[in-house]
Each structure stands twice: as structure tokens, then as C-alpha cells.
Amino acid sequence: MNHRTYDPTKSYLRVATATPEVAIGDSTANEQAIIALFSEAVKKHVSLVTFPELCITGYSLGDTVRQTALLDSALNSLTRLAEITKNISTAMVVGLPMTHNDRLYNVAALLADGQVKGFVTKSNLPNYGEFYEQRWYQSFTGTSTHDFMGLTVPFGQNLLFKVANSLIGIEICEDMWVADQPSRKLALAGAIVIVNPSASPELVGKSNYRTELVKMTSAQQRTAYVYSGADWTESTTDIVMSGHALIAENGSLVAERAPFTKNSRLLIADIDTNHLAHDRMQDTTATKTTEITKVDTLVARTQTDCLRTAPKSYFLPNAENETARTARLERIFDIQAHGLARRIKAAKSQHIVLGLSGGLDSTLALLVACRAAQVLNITNKDFVQALTMPGPASSNRTQNNATQLAGALGVTSRTIPITDIANTERQALQHQGEQDITYENVQARARTSLLFNYANKVGGIVLGTGDLSELVLGWCTFNGDHMSHYNVNASVPKTLIRDVVRYAAGLPENIKAKNLLQDILDTPISPELTTAGKGGISQQTESLVGPYELNDFFLWHVLRYGDEPAKISYIATETFADTYTKSEIDGWLAKFYERFARNQFKRSVMPDGPKVGSVSVSPRGDWRMPSDMSSALWMSVFAVQ
């Protein structure tokens, strides 16, 4: 395959926070500490490094902040700091007190290209509790200019800086904690990254609150948020700083320097600016403002790798946090069950009817049906009716598990063999018995026909069992297992199905079925439509369509963020390096795209089903695509030489 090499600079912006040791009031010493960390950031190909609030002088100056000698020294240090950025593809944000038109301001300066590119003033000056900034500083609204180093430099509010092809906005400490955050306006004007040089005192419980605030701010604004807190070497007269630093992206914490960390003073992370831009493109409710001054820099992205690691599954809860994992699985299960319960009420249905194969998907659907019965305060017996419909390729293992599971859960079950039905239809078609697509689909549609007709007979609805992964790949028979009255698994991918079943196996109401559920979890995934012989399982799905852990990884990147094939291949190759070769990954990715494009017609008429996560292919919700869509959009990257 002629797969081009992916350039990480197309998507990833390397940012950092720096936490220098503070010499209060000694700008020269602080300057040297800043230079040392800046130099380290340059070596590590950081495009933007953010230092704490008033880092050139220290934050806890008290009334000495008005001393002319201190203010002059700070400006001299700022000049030298600006000069060291010349011919360097790294920008920095540093803080200092400075006067403008005979007023004193708390300012953050962005330095790049050997210059000060702009001065951003702190908007909100806290004057409560341990804070009394209004004693010294003034607020500044609007945008002005300030002459510095022989240049006319933008000064004030509403400034954005183009660094490494990304718009950067700045707010300072308290600005994040107020209701009307300056960053809101900056984000609406296009800022993809907000940096916050801060000097926030540490209190019991405050670091957790601060972390959640940074994450939520980044989520609301669809930005990356880079928060750099002042070191504990600030004055301890009445407060203690902690050097807490945070980097968040769209609601998720990417990196953290914990309070009072002793060693590394540089926190580095790669921000996926493409993902942020994708989410903003989807948000048509945000109104952009034009009252912004944009300042260019010559800084370019220089990293040749990506520090960021991707999880092997975006759908599974964090395995390291059992409480959060269990809570998430319970919520998924409840969404499915309550969605089904509501549909039962609306349909005035007397029964839930489903085909129980002994596989993962139908097992979860049955468990959901039983939970829906609980929601409706109805006993499982008679209300939930399962049909087991063995065919010529059905294995003893799956059929035994299906019938025993129905008994263990106390639902009504019937076994209706379909071999004779399928043979009769094939004879009518003058089919010669070869195990081709007709052979397989006659069986799938025979089962679906029985389910719908049986539901008519008992006054029930047919519960679908197919999952999100199968819908994306088109791994379902059109008007066969593809069809139902309601499908509770429609937005649950195969890798997550397994975890939800495992969770449900541990519930008290399923104690009798626990061992059966474990065996079902251990059973190879198969449609069982071609003959295995001797009761075994043939036609293992993952050997035909690809490993589900890869397919679910692919579908997340394609549907959630619209990532290009080269990027997905790059990330997958890094993530699954211990399992698959790059060639194997590219092969399965090409097959994924081909199947995804070719099978939209099935998704266009898929039944209703509850959305449980951020990815869905419902034609009435998250995914609208013409059934005639060409796969060339994605497949050109896999062209044969």
C-alpha cells in the first residue's frame, strides 16, 4: 500500500506550562529561572510555554510593587526575555506589573520573534479574603497601544495571537473564576487555546475545584486550556502557592502537575487542534464576534512526533477507576432499558420478542429487556419472550447457552428450527445448496420473518440486537437481523457490549445466569450461517471484517472527529504496536472504509434505538450520508502503487 507518512504538526500543537522558582522582587534572578525553563521547552519542540502570573517579579510583592526600581527592573528583564525568542519557533507568555499612562496594571506579555507581541491586562482584580489587588492595580477595558522596544505594541483586552498557526487567547488567574470570563469572547472570536498565567493560593479542596473549573471551561468553549500556577516559593506571609499546573482539552484533562510537585517544573502536552476545530465546525449555535485584534507571529510547529497516547478503546470506562467504570456501565444499561420501557408504553405492547442466539448482542438485548420489565414493574415471565432458531450452522454451545440463559432469567422461550424453512425457500429459488451469500441471508431473513410474525401473534414488538460496530461495517443482513421494531444496541459498539454484559452478570437479579453469561463472553463472535461440522463454531467474524478493537478505534476517529486516514493509521500504529503491524492496521482500515461507504443504505433505514454515547449512526440523529457515497474520499490514500 502506498500509505503516506503522517506529519504530526498537521494536528498537534505542543504546549507547556513552566513553574520557575520565585525570588520575590528580584527580576534578574527570576529572569534567569525563566530562561532556563524556556530553553528546555525549546529543546523539546514546544510551540508555546506559559509562565505564572507576575512571574518576572513574583506575585506576592505587596506595596513594593509601586517601587520605580522594581518596575524598571521588570521591564529590563522583559526586554531581554523578548530578545531570546528571536529566530526561535517557541513563544512564551510571562507576567509582570507595568505602568501604562501612569496607571499600574497586572499584565501578561506574549513574546515571540524577538519582540513583545502584545500586553494583555488582567480584567478582574480580586479584592476579597486574602486578595486586595485593587489596592495597586487597575482594570483596563478595550484595546490601546504601548510603545516598547521601539515598537507600537497592542495593549489591553480583546487580543488574539497567532502562534504556530493557532489562535491563542490570554486571561489571567481570577478571570477564569468569574461568571463573565474574558476567554468566552476570545473563544468566540476563534481562540483555539486559552492560556492562564495564575497565582492561585492553595487551600484544602481547592485543587480539585480548580481542576474541574479548568476542564469545564475548556468544554464550554471548545478550547484547550493551559493553566500555569505560581510556585510554592512565593511569599508565605498569609498564603501558600503550590505550582499546580493543568492542561485540558474540550473537557478532558490532558496533563497535570500536581500541587507541590518537587521535580519537573515543565508540563508538556500535545493539543489536538484538529479535534477542537471539528467540534467547533459542528457547533452552529455559537455567534462569532469581530471585536478582536489579531497579532501574528512567525512561530511554527517543529515537533516530529506526538507525546500524546491514545487509549485502545474510547468507549470503555477507565479500568483503573472501578467506581467510575461501574457507574458508567450502569448508566448505559439504564439508558437502554428506559428507552425500551418508553417504547413499550408508547406501542401499548404486551410482550417483548427477540431472537436469542447465544451470542453477545442478543444476550445484552435480553438483559436489557429484563431490566425494562423491572422499570415497568412487570415480571419477566411471559412478558419477555425469546425465540431460539437454530439453523444448519448453529453450534451446540451457542444454542445450549441461549436456552439455558432464558431459563435462568425466567423468561418465556421457544425453539423453532429454521433449517426446513430455509431449505424450502432455497428450493423455491432453485438454489443448488452452495454456501454463498444467498445461503446465509435466507437463514437470517427466515429468523426475522418468524420474529415479526410471532410478535404479531402475541401482540409484541421485535427487539433488535445488532450493535453499532455491525451497523458501521454493514455486517448485518438487510431486512434480516438489520430490522426490528426497536434496537437497544444501536449505539453500543461491540467492544462495549462485552463490558456491559460483564457488568450485568454481576447484578443480583442475574446471579443464576452468571456462569452462563461468562461462557457467552468467552464464545468466539460468529454469525453461524455456514456449516461448522461436529457442533463447532465456524465463520469467526473478526477474521472476515477485522478485529473489533481496531474497527471500534477506527469508527471513533471517523465519526467523532472526521480524522483523515493517514492520521488514524498513525495513531493506531502507535497505540496497537504490541498487537498489529502497520501493514495489518492499514489493511483493516482500508476494509473499514470500503464497508462503511458501501453499506450506508442499511443505516438509512435502521430502526429507532437509544443513543447512549457521543457516537451514533442514526439517520435521524448524528449521521446523515447519501447511500451512493463514494469511498474514494478515504480510499485514495490506500491506492496501490
Q: Which residues are catalytic?
A: 53, 122, 173
Query: What are the residue ranges of helices labelled H in 348-476?
Result: 360-375, 380-383, 396-409, 419-428, 437-458, 468-473
**DSSP code per residue over 171-238:** --GGGGTSSS-HHHHHHHTT-SEEEEE--PPP-TTHHHHHHHHHHHHHHHHTSEEEEEPPPTTS--SS
Burial 160-186 (b: 16+ CB within 10 A, else e): bbbbbebbbbbbbbbbbeeeebbbbbb
Sign of the CA dihedral with 38 first, then 41, 47, and 48 last: negative
**What are the backbone angles phi and psi of residue 227, rounded to the nearest 5°?**
-110, 120
Distance from chain centroid for Cα 517: 30
Would you give the DSSP letter of residue 560? I
Residue showing cell 513583545: 116
CA atoms of 393 and 533, how far apart (whole Å): 8
Q: What is the 3-state secondary structure (H, E, C) of 452-467?
A: HHHHHHHCEEEEECCC
CA distance 239 to 236: 5
Order of all β-strands in the sheet with 193-197: 252-257, 245-249, 224-228, 193-197, 166-170, 159-163, 293-296
Cell, residue 148: 516598547
- CA distances from residue 235 to 25, 34, 262, 571 in whole angstroms, order as listed: 10, 18, 17, 45
Burial of 449 (0-12, 13-18, 19+ CB in 10 A): middle
Q: How far is 516 from 521, CA to CA, in rounded Å?
A: 9
